Structure 1
Amino acid sequence: MRPAPELRGVGRAAGFFFLLGTLVCPAVLAATYYFFVRTTTGQFIDESALVEAVGIHGAAGRASTKLLDWLPALSVVLAWAVVVVVTIARRRWAAAGIAVTAALAANIATQILKDLVPVRPFRGIETLELNSLPSGHTTLAASAAAVVFLVVSPRWRPLAGFLGGSFAVATGVSTLINQWHRPADVVAAFLVVGAFTLPAGWLATRTGRRWNVWDGYDSHWASARLWVVLPVLAGLAFAAVAAYSLLKIAPGPAQEGSTTNYFWAGTSLIVIAGYLATVAGVWLFGQAARRRFAASA
């Protein structure tokens, strides 16, 4: 008879990284707020990206408007469909409850922050004084993706992370194209969701000792390394776009007036932040999963 597979548990390192990520998210959120809302330079960069979005609003704007109009219903329907199917079929009641609670908490926290964070102080930049940080639409999309990510089994998480991260990134970029939100608002939404998803994920993995098991990357098509490579490549590509755009508007002999450079730099910030969170999440939850190894005969 073939020997039964041996399950190796999760090391303490995974718990440390979950804790570290949970602490880093609110710290980076505070830094994002301070730089982009409280400083003149941050306000100028953020507002310039919003203003320049008008220049490409055409067909892209119409498409993104449709996405944003459908977003609340789409996010809820997709997330609940997966949660219900997985919960009933696999009996992951605890994980589902934890994931949904975390998503609700992230959305409530976003609305509370919108009310509690002071209006934008005047720093010489013509902008709306009302607070728009964090983005509610982006929080909704990212938290819905996080719910799916938490309840599926480890072998499906690389694919779920890529698709969910892409959905959240597309939502964030759409809010910028439609001049609903500045880039910093979107990044702040990612951080709010991360602050709630990480501790919830750690709890979910603790309740899933039987199903939180996988054979590593490339053991299943949904676990292919491709789903990690794609967001990495997208992040690197947009890092190049950001560098090029910022060099065009940097002080110096080659400086030129900006028409869309700030917009592309802001879009790049959204894409990089969203996919960085995606890759980090897939890696971290992979570390938290128990590995299956063939037992020696």
Structure 2
Amino acid sequence: MRTRSNPVRFFGGALLSTAVFVLLYLFFVQTHTGQAVDQLAYDGAEFGRRSVTPFTQGILDWLPIASAVVGLLLTIIVALIRRHLKTFVVAVGVAAAAIATTQLLKYGILSRSDLGVEGYAGNSFPSGHTTVAAASALALFLVASPRTRSRVGVWGTVFAVLAGLSTLADQWHRPSDVIAALLVVAFWGCVGGAVLSFSRAVADLPPHDSPSRQWWIAIPFAVISGAALVVTLLDTSGGASGALIAYIGGLTAIAASGFLIALTATRLFDPLP
């Protein structure tokens, strides 16, 4: 199949990621309602923490180093097999840039206004653990062949989403922190795609997997999270039941966001050799 790579599509993806990131920050970090919704989901994580804390604590303890090492090793192996040094350099570069961006945003640029919402007051937006997991998956996704890219994207997304869910379940982060981290990685993934698209304008691509299955994974999560958000917005002061609904909404919102981003990425990279 003859196809042409177009860097403009990646610039559009980067712009969209940035816009959604800014909207998340302005609503969930800088408004009282957004903070209340996010905090309620964070408080609701107490339900899950009672039963899954040992598991999630274990994941969070080894996640940054293990995911970075394993991701780098797999990326090196695939890059060597495919003999794509430039792709490897771009993949590692954007993954490192995503991790650095999250740290800079969280500790040097962004702040959380005190709007009278009870709970953890410090800024945790975006999540560093989720960024590391997603960035590792991104590096492997970039060096994968067009034939296997969709499958790598699905499994990489599962890994990143599980990492994000763990940070919420163990009350390390709020839902918006996790989704923001995924958007940071998505932005740098688009930057990497734009760089790679300049290297070869036209290519013959073999048949490869269809990413359509990700729609069926994302849609149920999106519906549930949307319904939970509406219920939570109607009563942000909800008690135990309200916190549980907000928590479920946060979990499903993370999953929906992860798979929607993965689907978009697979579509964007579809023509890229």
8 Å CA contact 2:43–2:243 kept in 1: the answer is: no
1:277 corresponds to: 261
Shift of residue 37, structure 1, vs aligned partner: 0.6
Equivalent residue runs for 1:38-187 within 5 Å: 38-187=30-179
8 Å CA contact 1:79–1:145 kept in 2: the answer is: yes
Give structure 1 regions of 4+ aligned residues with deviation exceeding 6 angstroms: none
Shift of residue 247, structure 1, vs aligned partner: 5.3
Shift of residue 243, structure 1, vs aligned partner: 3.9
Q: C-alpha offsets along residues 148-178 of structure 1, whole Å, 9 cap, x if unaligned?
A: 0001111110000000011111111100001
| Aligned residue type for 1:278 | A
Q: C-alpha offsets along residues 218-249 of structure 1, whole Å, 9 cap, x if unaligned?
A: xxxxx2x3x540x3222111123224434554
Supply the distance in 2 between the matched residues of 1:249 and 1:31 (Cα, whole angstroms). 19
2:207 corresponds to: 216
1:234 to 1:148, Cα distance in 2 relative to 1, 3 A: same
Supply the distance in 1 between the matched residues of 2:200 and 2:142 (Cα, whole angstroms). 10
8 Å CA contact 2:41–2:243 kept in 1: the answer is: no
1:264 corresponds to: 248
8 Å CA contact 2:7–2:197 kept in 1: the answer is: no
User: Would you say how many aligned residue pairs link Structure 1 and Structure 2?
Assistant: 270
SS at structure 1 position matched to 2:158: helix
Shift of residue 259, structure 1, vs aligned partner: 3.8
1:167 to 1:208, Cα distance in 2 relative to 1, 3 A: farther
Question: In terms of Rg, which structure is larger?
Answer: 1
1:16 to 1:57, Cα distance in 2 relative to 1, 3 A: same
Identity of aligned residues (%): 33
Shift of residue 204, structure 1, vs aligned partner: 2.4
Supply the distance in 2 between the matched residues of 1:134 and 1:251 (Cα, whole angstroms). 26
Shift of residue 129, structure 1, vs aligned partner: 2.5
1:107 to 1:213, Cα distance in 2 relative to 1, 3 A: farther
Supply the distance in 1 between the matched residues of 2:234 and 2:23 (Cα, whole angstroms). 25
8 Å CA contact 1:79–1:147 kept in 2: the answer is: yes
- The answer to whether structure 1 residue 33 and structure 2 residue 33 are counterparts is no
1:235 to 1:115, Cα distance in 2 relative to 1, 3 A: same
- The answer to whether structure 1 residue 8 and structure 2 residue 2 are counterparts is yes
8 Å CA contact 1:238–1:272 kept in 2: the answer is: yes
1:94 to 1:209, Cα distance in 2 relative to 1, 3 A: farther
1:33 to 1:249, Cα distance in 2 relative to 1, 3 A: closer
1:3 corresponds to: none
After superposition, the CA RMSD in angstroms is: 2.2
2:272 corresponds to: 288
Note the residue ranges of structure 1 that are not aligned, 5 or more in a row. Answer: 1-6, 218-222, 290-297
User: Which segment is superposed worse, 185-194 or 15-24?
Assistant: 15-24
2:222 corresponds to: 239
Q: C-alpha offsets along residues 130-163 of structure 1, whole Å, 9 cap, x if unaligned?
A: 2111100000000000000001111110000000
